[in-house]
């Protein structure tokens, strides 16, 4: 997985903000991992290269032999798909009562 691992789910930090819930955060990271994994390669690769690896749109464009604008649009579309996927997964989860 890209962001969350089963080992990380039990780790706690002294720096955690008040109200932080490790199991909830780990679950959100797993959802994000699944959503990213489900993206088409056309959108996933530019997203990961720019957001995770820190490449500029131009540097990513050079790797894909395309324009920076094309990379910008692919990243924008990837983010839109992730928002939809995460919203749907949040809606599908049963809500716990406080």
Q: What is the mean pLDDT of each run of 10 residues along the chain (98 residues)?
A: 50 52 82 95 97 96 97 98 90 58
DSSP the chain: --S--TTGGG---TTPPTT--HHHHHHHHHHHHHHHHHS-HHHHHHHIIIIIS---HHHHHHHHTS-HHHHHHHHHHHHHHHHHHHHHHHHHSPPPP-
Q: What is the pLDDT of residue 6?
A: 45
CA separation for the pair 50, 77 (Å, rounded): 13
In order of their start, the domains of the chain are: 41-98 (1.10.10)
Q: What is the pLDDT of residue 24?
A: 74
Length of the chain: 98
């Amino acid at each position: 997985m890209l962001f969350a691992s089963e080992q990380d789910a039990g780790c706690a930090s002294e720096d955690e903000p008040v109200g932080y819930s490790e199991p909830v955060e780990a679950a959100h990271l797993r959802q994000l991992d699944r959503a990213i994994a489900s993206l088409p390669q056309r959108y996933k690769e530019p997203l990961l290269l720019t957001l995770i690896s820190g490449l500029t749109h131009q540097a990513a464009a050079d790797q894909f032999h395309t324009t920076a604008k094309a990379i910008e649009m692919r990243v924008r579309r990837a983010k839109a798909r992730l928002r939809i996927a995460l919203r749907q997964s949040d809606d599908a989860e049963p809500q716990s009562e406080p």
